[in-house]
Structure formats: structure tokens, C-alpha cells
Structure 1
């Protein structure tokens, strides 16, 4: 199947000038698509190159308390590693951000995202963070990664006192694939009667395996995570179930037909991004179901823009918007 023919670069929205300059500095490799043929090599390269700070590194000379935990996984599944961190010396049970890293379900680790989460949110908001080391595709296919996240989520809620967290003030969140997992986790917790999060932080979430929105065609061969890469990742995750008409919403939350009784959502995406239309549609579906969603579509932003251009004006605005939403959700929950 040709994943690029429906679109041309001319049709794509223009990139923000700061982001365009930063992306050009990364060279053509930044836009090299993932394919089934290069997936194993790309995964090996990422595992070698991606930072993996130790617990000692994350403690940052005593500013944070950090512990790696091994907790029971789903039945017949291995244990799950959670990296638990909180500002040092802060008394009382803290609200928790239960976070799933990005990487298209095929890359990433629980440790690399923590320095930024701790700096941006744990300190200023007095927030505990648990980052989940879920298993990656294609070695582990759906539902394995989501079940890892759910098992850790339930365990954390059940051990809230020992962890020093407030089980009634938990936000699930993630970026890209992690955002999709966070949305799926909110659905799964609702339907299984599990712990109820007070919010879902969905940063450019990966939600729709069908990969057939206008933006997925428009950004083919243009976005840093384009339609070819997206198809490769979904195929790795779903295997023989890729494209199945009866795929459950926990595999791809855009498939959900019932979005009622879900926690308030923060959803952001770039206007020049593959996931734009599926993320906007998800926010609209939450509103149609009577739910709450705060939607930000950043003009001229591509996928992962704040990672490779952290000092760009759009990146600073996005960080500020996320922080304001988190603070507002936490203040509301603290005043119940």
C-alpha cells in the first residue's frame, strides 16, 4: 500500500519558522520513516541512544526521592517496573501523575521522561510522578502494554498510603503513544470499575489505528511521525488484528463509541501533525458525550515539536498551557 500518494508537501500547513529551523538542523534523518524492514534496526539504535538516567541521577543531589519498584503484572504476564519519584521533604500525601512515555509503542523507556516531568511539574506543583516501563511492540502486542499500565495503576492506588500519594487525586497522562495509552487506561478503568483518575493529560495522543484522516494523508512524507511510521507502529502493536473491524477501543481509543463518564481531558496536537484530526475528533467526541475536554491545536507545530525545539515560543506556550491545566485540576480536586 502506498502511504504517501494522497498528499504532497505543497498541501501541508506551513511549519512555524522556529520549528522549521530547528528541524532543518536535525537533518533528513529526522524525517526518515519507520518501516517493517527497518524497525528492528531503528529500535536497537533508539535503545542505545535514548537517555536512561539512573535513580541516583534522578535524585538530583537530593531534590527528589526516587525508587524503582517491581509490581505484579496482569495474570500470566511478567512483573511491571514503575519508577516512582517525588519532591524530597514535602509532607503529606501528594497528588500523582501516572505517566506513560511516548515512542510509538515501539520505543522509549520509563526513565528518560522523568527529568523533564520532575523539573516542570513535580517541583512547582508538589506532585508525585510514577512512570511505567510497559513492554514494547512487536515483541509484546496488544493488550500486553496496556495491561502493564493498568496493573501498575491499580497497584499504585492500592498502595497509596505506603507511596505517600492521594489515591483520590491521580491524573493519568502521556505523550504520543503514551497519550493513547492514557486515554485507553481511562476507558479501561471506567469499564472494569478500577481506580478513577481525576484527569487525563493527552499530549499529541496516538489514538486511531485506521490511519486514514485527512491530516494523516496531508502530512504523509512531511511530519516527523508520518503515515508510514504510524502504520508500521500500529501493525507492530496489533499484528493480525491490525485493521480489524471489531478492534476494541482499549486498543485504539478513537474506536470508542461510549466516551461518557470519563475524567476531564487536556488534549493538544499540532496543526501540521499526522495526529491532528484524530485528536480534534476525540475532543469533540468527549464533548458530544457530555464530558470535559480542553483542546489546543498549536499552529505550525509538528509531532514532538517541544522535544526538538524546547525554547521555541510555541514550545513554551504549550508547556505553560499544560501546567495551567494540571494546576487547575489539582486545585479543584483539593477543594472537594
Structure 2
């Protein structure tokens, strides 16, 4: 691991793998509300079903938009944790960013989170006139579990004819079968194999890996990837999700999708959050920002 990515926080003996650690994790997430970038207007809106979204409007919008889905293993996290990320994306790329709240497992297993996120995409399409958005320039993205939810939303959007121009998958949690694979040196930090077992079981039930699943429950299981939009996938080579993410990228390419795969050497899961000021993580985040601009045809690209 590069010295710039080391942190004392990595050695804390806490992983989200049971009710007590989940309660601690949710408490910690509730304390985090990151800073909103200057000159970005933020408003809250209700979506059908009682959920809400944050809308980040840049000073000079260019007509593009991104639906963003936060991470947290499907069991924790909230949109306020990504105020900084979403507002900087809006400001730097000139796009409207919509960040959605969704119901968490295990209290609300699949399809609750998926349905909430898809409802947010439908709301975004219905709100294009109000938000000044080109309906042909809407992207969907997310981090970790939010990246997996984003991939499932994009698959469903393709199947149901809802336009999505681009998908942005930040170390996405795609395939529940990772829980059954032999453990390796990957995934020893932040999101561990034990956390992964807990997260998927909370979302899909204890027997998920040995059963057939409904569509969109684990996007990495989908066999037909033809017709999905251009994609950026970013993952570190120490991340537990490295194999499923690079495999998904390869299968998307084989199906004819344009894919920009960013593999970051020495990066563990969510290092761009924990060590966001390090040079490598600033460059990693910038590659993601630039990909959104290119994917939506932004004049900032």
C-alpha cells in the first residue's frame, strides 16, 4: 500500500458484520455530513413513496444530469455523506446532480432499495423541464453498494425503455457470489469479506448465493449485457470487489459497450473517501469527474 493511503483508522477493529457493529456504523454515518461546494444550490424534493432526493444545481448548468446513489453495503449510509462529492460534481462538470435516499436492509430487503432508486430515476425524467435537463443526457452512478444499485437501475432502465446515457460505477458491489469465493489478500481493509457476507445476507437473505435471484438483485449475475450505456468503472487492486468489477467491465466490452476501466494500484475500498487529499486519490476522483463530463457531452470535458 502506498504511504499516502495509510491511516490509523484502518486498524480500528470494527467491521459491519452483525447487529452491534451495524448500529455503530449507522451512528458513525449519521455524524457525517460533508461540506457543500461554494456556488452550488442544494434543495430537497419528495419522491413518490415518501423518500426524498437532494438536488445540486451548478451556477451554469449545461443540461446534463446525474442520479447518484450512496454506498454503505445496502445496510447503512445516507445521501448527506456525499454532499461534497455531489456538489463538486455539479459545480465542476456543470451538471445537475440528484442524490437519493433509499430504504436500508435488513429492515427493508430487496427490492426496497432498488425500487427507491429506480423511482428516483423516474422522478428525474419527469422533472427535466423543472430542472432544465436534457432527457437524453442523464447518467446514473454510485459508490460501492450504491454502484451495485446503480448498475441494477441501469439494467432495468434498459429493459423498460427509460433513457440512460452513461453509468458511473465506483468500486461497485455487483455480485453476491463473491461471498462464496476463497479469501485472498484483497478486501482486508474497510469492506471485508465478513462485512460482505453480512451485507448481502441482509439484502437478499441467508441462502442468496445458492439460489436463483430476481432480476436486478445482483447485477453481476446478469448474462445479457447488450445495449447498456457507456460506462466508467473505477476500483483499486486491493479492493474486495476488484475481480467482480473488472469481470463486469470485460463482459460489458464483449457485449459492445464502451468501457473506461480505471484500476488504481495500492487502493483499498473507499480510500478516496478516507484519504481524499492524497495526490493519487485526487487523481482517481478527477478521472471519475472527467468521465461524467465526457459521457454526458459536457463542455467541461
When the two structures are superposed, what TM-score results if normalisation uses the length of structure 2? 0.92
Structure 1 unmatched runs, 5+ = 1-14, 73-77
CA–CA distance in 2 between the matches of 1:313 and 1:154? 37
Question: Are residues 65 and 104 of structure 1, via their aligned partners in 2, closer, same or farther at CA, if it must alter by over 3 Å?
Answer: same
Partner of 1:10: none
Decide whether the 8 Å contact of 1:101 with 1:177 is kept in 2. Answer: yes
Partner of 1:235: 201
Give the secondary-structure state (helix, strand or coil) at the position aligned to 2:203. helix
Matching of residues 193-232 of structure 1 within 5 Å: 193=161, 195-212=162-179, 217-219=183-185, 222-232=188-198
Structure 2 unmatched runs, 5+ = none
Give the secondary-structure state (helix, strand or coil) at the position aligned to 2:142. strand
- Match among 159, 177, 198 for residue 127 of structure 2: 159
Give the secondary-structure state (helix, strand or coil) at the position aligned to 2:174. coil
Question: Are residues 223 and 234 of structure 1, via their aligned partners in 2, closer, same or farther at CA, if it must alter by over 3 Å?
Answer: same
Question: Are residues 332 and 40 of structure 1, via their aligned partners in 2, closer, same or farther at CA, if it must alter by over 3 Å?
Answer: closer
Partner of 2:77: 108
CA–CA distance in 2 between the matches of 1:305 and 1:327? 23
For each residue in 1:277-326, what CA deviation from the matched residue of structure 2 results, as whole angstroms up to 9, or x when unmatched? 00000001101111111111111110011111112222022022112212
- The offset of 1:179, in angstroms, is 0.6
- Match among 135, 138, 153 for residue 185 of structure 1: 153
Question: Are residues 208 and 27 of structure 1, via their aligned partners in 2, closer, same or farther at CA, if it must alter by over 3 Å?
Answer: closer
Decide whether the 8 Å contact of 2:56 with 2:86 is kept in 1. Answer: no
- The offset of 1:32, in angstroms, is 2.3
Question: Are residues 241 and 152 of structure 1, via their aligned partners in 2, closer, same or farther at CA, if it must alter by over 3 Å?
Answer: farther
Decide whether the 8 Å contact of 1:213 with 1:278 is kept in 2. Answer: no
1:18 aligns with 2:1: no
Decide whether the 8 Å contact of 1:110 with 1:132 is kept in 2. Answer: yes
- The offset of 1:85, in angstroms, is 1.5
Root mean square deviation, CA, Å:
2.3
- The offset of 1:333, in angstroms, is 10
CA–CA distance in 1 between the matches of 2:37 and 2:288? 24
- The offset of 1:178, in angstroms, is 0.8
For each residue in 1:156-191, what CA deviation from the matched residue of structure 2 results, as whole angstroms up to 9, or x when unmatched? 101210122221100100111111111111001111
Question: Are residues 161 and 80 of structure 1, via their aligned partners in 2, closer, same or farther at CA, if it must alter by over 3 Å?
Answer: same
1:269 aligns with 2:235: yes
- Match among 78, 94, 103 for residue 126 of structure 1: 94
For each residue in 1:44-86, what CA deviation from the matched residue of structure 2 results, as whole angstroms up to 9, or x when unmatched? 42344222x6xxx7485xx2222211121xxxxx322011120
CA–CA distance in 1 between the matches of 2:20 and 2:186? 18
Partner of 1:86: 57
Decide whether the 8 Å contact of 1:184 with 1:252 is kept in 2. Answer: yes
Give the secondary-structure state (helix, strand or coil) at the position aligned to 2:136. strand
Aligned length: 301
CA–CA distance in 2 between the matches of 1:329 and 1:47? 31
Question: Are residues 262 and 220 of structure 1, via their aligned partners in 2, closer, same or farther at CA, if it must alter by over 3 Å?
Answer: closer
1:33 aligns with 2:15: yes
When the two structures are superposed, what TM-score results if normalisation uses the length of structure 1? 0.83
